[in-house]
Chain A
C-alpha cells in the first residue's frame, strides 16, 4: 500500500507566523499535488510538482518536491486568517487501488 503521511495533522498559529506542512511516503511518485479545502466545499488544486528537487512559489506559499520524489513540503510565510483550511497532498501516477491522498493538515490562523 502506498501510504501518504501528512504532518502535522493540526496546526493552530497566530497571524504573521510561518509554518511548514510535510507529506511523506516510502514510495516514489511521478508527481505530487497540493490541494486546499475550505468548509463546505471541495478541494481546489494549489500546485503540481513533477521534478525531483522542484520548488514552486504561489505568493506566500512555497512548495518543494523531494530530490527522490518521495516527499514534499508546503511552507507558508506570514500566514493570514485567509489561509485557514484543510491542506491535502495527493500522489499522482499511482495505482488507483491504493491510497493516494494524505490524511490532511487542518490549519487555523488566528487574527
Chain B
C-alpha cells in the first residue's frame, strides 16, 4: 500500500532551469495539494486540486504551475527556478476538504543554486 509517492526525492537545479515534481496517490482521493516547507514557516499551500482536471491557487502560487490530468497524479512545475524556491516540497491527498486527514508523501528536497 504505497499511499502518496513523490518523485524525485532530491534534486539540485541551477537558476533558470525548469523541472516537474510528480505526485501519485493510490487511495482514490479527490483532493490533492502541494505544499512547501521552510524553517520556521510551517507548511504553506502552493496549489491544490479538488478533482481531476481542476486546479486552484493556494497561499504562495507565484513561480509554480500545476496540472491534474489524471485523478491519481498531481504535477508541480517550476518554469524558471529561482534560489527562493529552495525548499522541501510535500504533496498530500484527502477524500474531501473538511475534517478529513491529509495523507502526505515523504517530500522532495529541492536546491536551486
Instruction: Assess A40 versus B106: contact at CB under 8 Å? Given A31-B98, A88-B42, A92-B98.
Output: yes
Interface extent on B, as a size class?
20 to 34
The residue that B4 contacts in the complex, of A40, A42, A88, A98, with Cβ under 8 A, is A42
CB of A44 within 8 Å of the partner chain? yes
Q: Mark A9-31, 1 if CB is under 8 A from B, else 0.
A: 10000000000000000000011
Interface residues on chain A, number (Cβ under 8 Å): 26
Within 8 A of B (CB), among A41-87: 41-45, 48, 50
Listed A/B pairs (19) with beta-carbon separation below 8 Å: A30-B98, A40-B106, A41-B106, A42-B90, A42-B105, A42-B106, A42-B107, A43-B102, A50-B99, A92-B98, A92-B99, A96-B97, A97-B59, A99-B45, A99-B59, A100-B45, A101-B35, A101-B42, A104-B42
